Amino acid sequence: MLKLFLFLARFSITAWLGAASLFVAVTVVEIRSGELESLVLDTLILLRFPVYYLFTFSLLSVSLVAGIACWILSRGKIGKLFTVLIALSLLILIGDYFWVYLRLEGMLTPLGTPRPHDFPFYHQLTEALNSVAMLINLIASGVINWPGKLQTNAVD
């Protein structure tokens, strides 16, 4: 069972890092290109970010559950560290979604209305929170993907 949970932990955190990196890269290119009007960018934000957060919460929840299982089954520090890092990242991203993103979403609807004066603050806050979560998850990925065995007395 440990090998299955280790696979799930490794796969889900690596998949999240790849997908989140691609999402950020595409979004930054679109914004910096200057080819898209503000209304189109706002529409893309309202269409893409709910999918991003759904994908995030799904994959990181799998990572968390698999990490807890690795921690319990291996009785080792690697599973514990991975689990703590994923839990911290999830807490940051849940906070970002409920207290920052939903507020930004409200500022963008209805489409075409002027952005309130505090929009830049919330936009920068969500960028910072997502950057911190990305860094934490990158560290967690390194921890769980590092070659070697989890400390265990239960499995080879």
The pLDDT assigned to 148 comes to 73
Distance between CA 77 and CA 3 in Å, rounded?
16
More confident residue, 25 or 57: 57
Span 29-52, pLDDT tens digits: 998 898 999 899 999 999 999 999
Give the pair of three-digit tokens for residue 128.
């910072």
Reported as a pLDDT band with limits 50, 70 and 90, residue 150 is low
The pLDDT assigned to 27 comes to 87
* Contact residues for 135 (Cβ-Cβ < 8 A; gap 6+): none
Give the pair of three-digit tokens for residue 32.
């910096």
Q: Is pTM beyond 0.85 here?
A: yes
On average, the pLDDT of the chain sits at: 92
Span 74-111, pLDDT tens digits: 887 888 999 999 999 999 999 999 999 999 999 999 99
Polymer length of the chain = 156
Q: What integer is the mean pLDDT of 6-22?
A: 96
